[in-house]
Amino acid sequence: MINTTLCHIEKDGKYLMLHRVKKENDLNHDKWVGIGGKFEEKESPEDCNLREVLEETGLTLHTARYCGIVTFVSDRYETEWMHLFYSDDFSGALLECDEGTLEWVDKQAVYDLPIWEGDKIFLRLIEEGAPFFSLKLEYIGDTLVNAVLNGKKWSET
């Protein structure tokens, strides 16, 4: 099992998104994702989030809300615990990212991009200001086959 972070950074009604097009053998190839990556030895979720955002974007987060944990289960990839963050409090200038192209995207337009189906669920939870949550997303290939929020089957209603 691997631990990662993902941060959705907002400015002027837009999220900073990474279009993953530069790395070979990337499970997120050609997807649009938030900013994040894998934990390094002895890092807390907050440490990893701050480091990954700075490394991938050049931005320094001043505060970030720890939103929840997303458990990804897949028939292709290792199980992953993704620690999800949100921030609109940062400084710095964007750098070129070696993993893809960074772009500020209108929050509602993000849903029309090629993103993982489960990302739509946690983006809604972030936007609603939901309390800390646990979300389990199960995929067969690129298809979301099950979603469980706080121990109960996900329902959009």
Q: What is the pLDDT of residues 37-70, one digit of tens each?
A: 999 999 999 999 999 999 999 999 999 999 999 9
Q: What is the 3-state secondary structure (H, E, C) of 55-83?
A: HHHCCEEEEEEEEEEEEEEECCCCCEEEE
pLDDT of 157 higher than 60: no
Looking at residue 114, its pLDDT comes to 92
62 vs 57: CA distance, rounded Å: 14
Looking at residue 82, its pLDDT comes to 97
Q: Tokens 């993993």 — which residue?
A: 99
pTM summary value: 0.93
Per-residue confidence band for 99, with pLDDT thresholds at 50, 70 and 90: confident
Looking at residue 29, its pLDDT comes to 59
Looking at residue 73, its pLDDT comes to 96
Q: Tokens 């989030």 — which residue?
A: 49
**Contact of 89 with 59, CB cutoff 8 Å:** no
Topology of domain 7-68+85-131 in CATH is Nucleoside Triphosphate Pyrophosphohydrolase (3.90.79)
Q: What is the average pLDDT value for the chain, to the nearest integer? A: 93
Looking at residue 23, its pLDDT comes to 61
For residue 10, which of 84, 97, 90, 129 has the smallest C-alpha distance?
Answer: 90
Q: What is the mean pLDDT of residues 82-106?
A: 95
Task: Write out the two tokens for 37.
Answer: 């990556």
How many H-runs (helices) and E-runs (strands) does the chain carry? Answer: 2, 10
Looking at residue 28, its pLDDT comes to 64
CA distances from 110 to 2, 6, 22, 85, 116 (A): 26, 15, 20, 17, 11
DSSP state of 95: P
Q: What is the mean pLDDT of residues 128-139?
A: 97
